[in-house]
């Protein structure tokens, strides 16, 4: 034992070669996301499904609602990749068309809910006190009103269709986002750099949009990703019950409802749309969970 062991330790100057590269938040999140094999597979599946939804109807020589009665209920073959239905319509084209509808609804709902929810939650958290209390109580009340009942009443009131589904999803879809944003921002608001920004005279607008929202982005993105499958489900559920999109439109819910009556003899009419919606929802859910983990700053390496 030598005296050196008892000397206070001085900081080790890391040489540039051995120091870990400094990464931005998003770079770091991407690195961790990439390590998650399941999430990568899901991303791949979703990209493929998206491509199929966009390009699918163009690469086949059929229109999704073109009726060919002499070719009805054909099993899957080279002519009809996924078979044909009771009116001779190509199931592959219809499934792709349904994918366009579902993805559009999911993405649009995530965007609408995200924008409303983030602005609402951020304002509540930023202004605090009575404003916060009033805004969050309103959320509580809206939150107890069941989505199903809103949708049913709106369907009766406005008739079925895409517009009804969007409005119903927008009415209470953003509540979750508002709560999560608020919780995040309340936490960040306490941090020193926000105090510093306020001290140098930054406007509230600048503080909210420049400091608070970007730093709360992780959970917001993860929540938005998880909104997508929920919205896709809601549309398919309504269409399945006959309260959403209506028959000639090829929504997955409509196709599954049609397929049930024929499942004993023509199971492909039920199988393909079911498989597509399951695959889509599964991928979005798994990817959302992986994103939540990857974007969680507490798990940063």
Residue 270 and residue 108: Cα distance in Å, rounded?
27
Q: By the 8 A CB rule, do 207 and 194 touch? A: yes
DSSP 8-state symbol, 74: P
Residues 12-71 that bind other proteins (CB under 8 A): none
Choice between 130 and 157, CB closer to other proteins: 157
Other CB atoms within 10 A of residue 252 CB = 28
Among 46, 113, 274, 291, binds other proteins (CB under 8 A): 274
Say if residue 7 is exposed, middle or buried (CB neighbours under 10 Å; 0-12, 13-18, 19+): exposed
Least distance CB 62 / other proteins (angstroms): 25
Q: Which two tokens stand for residue 205?
A: 């607008």
Residues 226-255 that bind other proteins (CB under 8 A): 226, 229-230, 233-234, 236-237, 240-243, 253
Tell me the number of residues near other proteins by CB under 8 A.
46
Residue 167 and residue 234: Cα distance in Å, rounded?
12
Choice between 159 and 214, CB closer to other proteins: 159
**Residue 90 φ/ψ, nearest 5 degrees:** -75, 120
Q: By the 8 A CB rule, do 91 and 268 touch? A: yes
Q: By the 8 A CB rule, do 222 and 301 touch? A: no
Residues 187-226 that bind other proteins (CB under 8 A): 223, 226
Among 44, 75, 146, 214, binds other proteins (CB under 8 A): 146
Choice between 55 and 260, CB closer to other proteins: 260
Residue 228 and residue 245: Cα distance in Å, rounded?
18
Strand partners, 145: none
Choice between 57 and 277, CB closer to other proteins: 277
Least distance CB 153 / other proteins (angstroms): 5
Per-residue CA distances from 250 to 47, 82, 232, 279 (Å):
21, 14, 14, 18
Choice between 27 and 140, CB closer to other proteins: 140
**From residue 67 to residue 106, what is the string marking binding to other proteins with x (rule CB under 8 A)?**
----------------------------------------
Residue 216 and residue 203: Cα distance in Å, rounded?
19
Residues 124-143 that bind other proteins (CB under 8 A): 137, 140-141
Residue 27 and residue 80: Cα distance in Å, rounded?
44
Least distance CB 8 / other proteins (angstroms): 32
**From residue 148 to residue 187, what is the string marking binding to other proteins with x (rule CB under 8 A)?**
xx--xx-xxx------------------x--xx--x----
Choice between 212 and 226, CB closer to other proteins: 226
Q: Which two tokens stand for residue 56?
A: 């699918």
Residue 158 and residue 153: Cα distance in Å, rounded?
8
Least distance CB 255 / other proteins (angstroms): 11
Q: Which two tokens stand for residue 41?
A: 């597979």
Residues that bind other proteins (CB under 8 A): 137, 140-141, 144-149, 152-153, 155-157, 176, 179-180, 183, 223, 226, 229-230, 233-234, 236-237, 240-243, 253, 256, 259-260, 263-264, 267, 270, 274, 277-278, 281-282, 285-286, 289
């Amino acid at each position: 034992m030598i005296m050196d062991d008892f000397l206070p330790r001085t900081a080790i100057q890391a040489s540039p070669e051995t120091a870990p590269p400094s990464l931005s938040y998003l770079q770091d999140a991407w690195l961790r996301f990439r390590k998650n094999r399941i999430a990568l597979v899901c991303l791949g599946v979703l990209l493929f499904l998206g491509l199929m939804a966009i390009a699918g109807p163009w690469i086949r020589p059929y229109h999704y609602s073109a009726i060919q009665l002499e070719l009805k209920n054909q099993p899957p073959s080279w002519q009809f990749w996924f078979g044909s239905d009771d009116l001779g319509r190509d199931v592959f084209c219809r499934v792709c068309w349904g994918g366009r509808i579902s993805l559009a609804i999911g993405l649009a709902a995530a965007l609408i809910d995200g924008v409303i929810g983030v602005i609402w939650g951020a304002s509540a958290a930023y202004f605090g006190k009575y404003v916060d209390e009033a805004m969050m109580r309103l959320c509580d009340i809206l939150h107890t009103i069941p989505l199903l009942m809103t949708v049913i009443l709106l369907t009766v009131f406005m008739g079925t269709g895409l517009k009804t589904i969007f409005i119903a999803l927008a009415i209470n879809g953003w509540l979750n986002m508002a709560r999560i944003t608020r919780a995040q921002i309340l936490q960040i608001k306490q941090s020193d750099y926000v105090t510093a920004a306020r001290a140098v005279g930054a406007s509230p607008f600048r503080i909210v949009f420049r400091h608070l929202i970007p730093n709360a982005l992780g959970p917001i993105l993860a929540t938005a990703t998880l909104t997508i499958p929920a919205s896709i489900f809601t549309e398919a559920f309504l269409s399945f019950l006959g309260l959403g999109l209506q028959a000639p439109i090829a929504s997955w819910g409509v196709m599954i409802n049609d397929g049930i009556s024929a499942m004993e003899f023509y199971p492909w009419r039920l199988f393909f749309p079911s498989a597509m919606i399951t695959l889509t929802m599964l991928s979005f859910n798994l990817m959302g969970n992986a994103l939540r983990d990857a974007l969680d700053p507490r798990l940063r390496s």
